[in-house]
Structure 1
């Protein structure tokens, strides 16, 4: 019951990343968004969520994961009410920012609670597997639910459905989940400010690159600010007694490699969703509901595949699974690269979609295990925030790169023209993730029980 309650919240948070994407035309028509302003329905959430994840994770470590989780869910629910009832574009954008704030507070506590509640390694791996299953299917499930609600009722229900779910989670969590031990510490204010502003600047730079190009003034200014702020953050964290992020977490080679590989594959997954949603609607002529339902093979395959992965991790360790998963993601991207105006959903979309689903399941579950392995309980929230920030930045970077490649090959009134080049680049990035995995992820010890070599790198 406790795990189910926590994972229900995680599903709700993940679905809200993309639940409104299929409803954007209706939102634009009703609230009067400009074409450029419409992107902020997605970007406002992404910026607040990605920028505050490190702070949210650290607050959970200091003040208790359950307490911070409940505060985050309460903010998220209240923002969902405001967004669902919004009468103007500005109110909806503000509500999406608040949703991102709530998600950033609650999100790291989800993973931290799963790892700290587990009584042994097998239970932890099962919990992480379910966490990844829910997280992985959340985006595609959001497309399905968003399409259904938009077609059958209104886009507003894409936000208002969070209210009953969030209230149930708030009612149950206190009685089902024991509060974690608090770690009395002073909050690293300078680290929180530089990490938050640096992360926001970095994500905004990637979003700006996708919209305006890599060399636009706003894009370059955002990246410059991100470099300065994140450098200041690292400088501060190395010298402060109680840092926002203990940099020793990054000295583990397997954890660092897992973060890099995870970011690359998350980026390719978000890029696939970004392009295939448009392909289904603009080329195949699918409506909102049918577009959402078209992702059912992805959702179902990920959910089923993750059921078997904990046993595979225990037997083989994460490296062969992650290596195979990155290769499958690369193969799926090459399959999508063959799409053109004459394509049909079956088999040209659904077959690479299933291959892609198996690939990301084989990457996300072992990758999360590799990243969270050996993290002390008192740093579980910070590590969880780091992992989820890594995924947000990876997703934004992936979309920026693939969108830029697509735009460079685009032809007016021919959506398929740029798909080949974009997805080929995606396949190359997935293969680079294969190389990172082979170099950094430790092998399972012979005769061991899932123990992993923990090489250390010095910062």
Structure 2
């Protein structure tokens, strides 16, 4: 009789002992997300200097950004399945190591081709690293308030990472050299490797796991063709090359979907994306990625080329976006369990759109504090409302066996959205610039400004579309009461 009261006392002591490790692991995984996201933008500020030193063409300059996002997004689904089947911790560590080596190679590049190849390799290893990290987060924080907090932290890092990359890129380019925008990753990688080995617990999908090789080939080639086709649109939407690659990409992706319905263990189980809420979250994530990667690149160009800010000042000029996200995110996190994700997911994109429309009013002789700063603050408020619930929604109700595939889809949506968005924005920018008659240096700056303004308007339209998607697809209310099992959903449905 005396032994029975002592048994229930053990579990609380165990939870108390393991909880600090869980939160330390969250710190390591969040650092991973920061590295992956900021590397999508950290070279933006450095591109003018790198273009001069390596004699890059304008096309090569765009591909320094696109190569990373394209390789990352196209290989993420395969990376997610490798994480599920081979082991998430093992995949995470290999991705970390490879990302560090690729970063060092890029930092030592001697010409444009080497730099673009290095960026592609960074993206390829990020495709191993990112889904493994997110899947580890999913199986570490399975449900309840802790899960919401963990995903809010992770989502905030994702939202702020692009702007952090611009600031860090400005500091390194100004006081060191553009090459340090890549070499700095080595320090992050060392921390991530040590933390991963000590704090992260291995997990993988159980059962007989087989790789969907044909699916991996078709989705990779399909996404690659699609992004390349959009990049060619700068030279004309009606050109045979543009139409051909876009058609090829769509055809290969249709074939990929057909393959996924026929194989026993698909690369992307269609149940992951056909869920209404998750599907909507993936679409919104793609649009948000296009804005954070594409629009911030052209803002960086405006700050340096038109307003004449040096790299450090241009990087710091983006800081209000990050600060606004970091300030608003805790309030959004507290509001999430009270009102649910749907109001945040509708209001957030509309607020971001308002900020982008404000930025579209820029002029060649304008003032940063009047024409740029308010728009960045408004964007930051909206992005915080989007990113706090987004990662959690994208993985709500996912079975542990599919955690890597769902995590990869979430990341892939953002990266492919970013690379496609950048290509589309480039085409819009080129068309707007071509519409301005250039006679001297002043009209040249006006032409650039017209192009940047057009991209901000296009990005605003995309965010309004994201809000409409939230209205239609995000049909969930506030979180359900905490469950005792991780397989149950995290949110209550709302009525039609």
Distance across 1 between alignment mates of 2:424 and 2:115: 28
Question: Where in structure 1 are there 5+ consecutive unaligned residues?
Answer: none
Distance across 2 between alignment mates of 1:426 and 1:373: 28
The equivalent of 2:20 in structure 1 is: none
Of 228, 232, 236, the match for 1:208: 232
The equivalent of 1:147 in structure 2 is: 170
User: Are residue 251 (structure 1) and residue 284 (structure 2) matched?
Assistant: no
Of 215, 220, 239, the match for 1:191: 215
Contact 1:115 1:127 in 2 (8 A): no
Distance across 1 between alignment mates of 2:470 and 2:58: 40
Q: CA deviation at 1:308?
A: 2.5
The equivalent of 2:461 in structure 1 is: 428
Q: CA deviation at 1:84?
A: 1.5
Question: Where in structure 2 are there 5+ consecutive unaligned residues?
Answer: 1-23, 439-443, 483-489
The equivalent of 2:254 in structure 1 is: 231
User: When the two structures are superposed, what TM-score results if normalisation uses the length of structure 1?
Assistant: 0.94
Of 284, 290, 293, the match for 1:261: 284
Of 372, 376, 386, the match for 2:399: 376
What SS does the corresponding residue of 1:371 show, helix, strand or coil? helix
Q: CA deviation at 1:417?
A: 2.4
Is the deviation greater in 87-96 or in 328-337?
Answer: 87-96
Contact 1:252 1:454 in 2 (8 A): no
Distance across 2 between alignment mates of 1:153 and 1:357: 28
What SS does the corresponding residue of 1:17 show, helix, strand or coil? coil
1:341-364 Cα offsets, whole Å, 9 max, x none, are 232111321111111111111112
Distance across 1 between alignment mates of 2:305 and 2:49: 16
Distance of aligned partners of 1:123 and 1:448 in 2 relative to their CA distance in 1, 3 Å threshold? closer
User: Are residue 9 (structure 1) and residue 32 (structure 2) matched?
Assistant: yes
User: Are residue 78 (structure 1) and residue 101 (structure 2) matched?
Assistant: yes
User: When the two structures are superposed, what TM-score results if normalisation uses the length of structure 2?
Assistant: 0.87
1:389-413 Cα offsets, whole Å, 9 max, x none, are 1111222232333333333232230
Contact 2:40 2:293 in 1 (8 A): no
The equivalent of 2:44 in structure 1 is: 21
Contact 1:254 1:454 in 2 (8 A): no
What SS does the corresponding residue of 2:307 show, helix, strand or coil? coil
User: Are residue 66 (structure 1) and residue 89 (structure 2) matched?
Assistant: yes
Distance of aligned partners of 1:349 and 1:100 in 2 relative to their CA distance in 1, 3 Å threshold? same
Q: CA deviation at 1:299?
A: 0.9
Largest Rg, 1 or 2: 2
Is the deviation greater in 378-387 or in 416-425?
Answer: 416-425
Contact 1:140 1:298 in 2 (8 A): yes
Contact 2:299 2:452 in 1 (8 A): no
Q: CA deviation at 1:421?
A: 4.0
Distance across 2 between alignment mates of 1:272 and 1:432: 16
Contact 2:290 2:417 in 1 (8 A): yes
User: Are residue 416 (structure 1) and residue 449 (structure 2) matched?
Assistant: yes
Q: How does 1:8-407 map to 2 (within 5 A)?
A: 8-183=31-206, 184-209=208-233, 211-407=234-430
1:259-305 Cα offsets, whole Å, 9 max, x none, are 22222233233332122112111221111111001011111111222
Distance across 2 between alignment mates of 1:120 and 1:81: 39
Of 461, 468, 474, the match for 1:441: 474
Contact 1:329 1:359 in 2 (8 A): yes
Distance across 1 between alignment mates of 2:457 and 2:425: 10
What SS does the corresponding residue of 1:20 show, helix, strand or coil? helix
Distance across 2 between alignment mates of 1:122 and 1:306: 16
The equivalent of 2:21 in structure 1 is: none
Distance across 2 between alignment mates of 1:178 and 1:455: 39
1:399-432 Cα offsets, whole Å, 9 max, x none, are 3333333332322301222444443333232222
Is the deviation greater in 382-391 or in 8-17?
Answer: 8-17
Distance across 1 between alignment mates of 2:463 and 2:276: 20
Is the deviation greater in 339-348 or in 69-78?
Answer: 339-348
1:307-342 Cα offsets, whole Å, 9 max, x none, are 232321111111101111011012112211211123
Distance across 2 between alignment mates of 1:119 and 1:443: 19
Distance of aligned partners of 1:101 and 1:421 in 2 relative to their CA distance in 1, 3 Å threshold? closer
Distance of aligned partners of 1:294 and 1:436 in 2 relative to their CA distance in 1, 3 Å threshold? same
Contact 1:325 1:363 in 2 (8 A): yes
Distance across 1 between alignment mates of 2:467 and 2:106: 41
What SS does the corresponding residue of 2:109 show, helix, strand or coil? coil
Alpha-carbon RMSD across the aligned residues, in angstroms, is 2.1
Number of residues of Structure 1 aligned to a counterpart in Structure 2: 455
What SS does the corresponding residue of 1:444 show, helix, strand or coil? strand
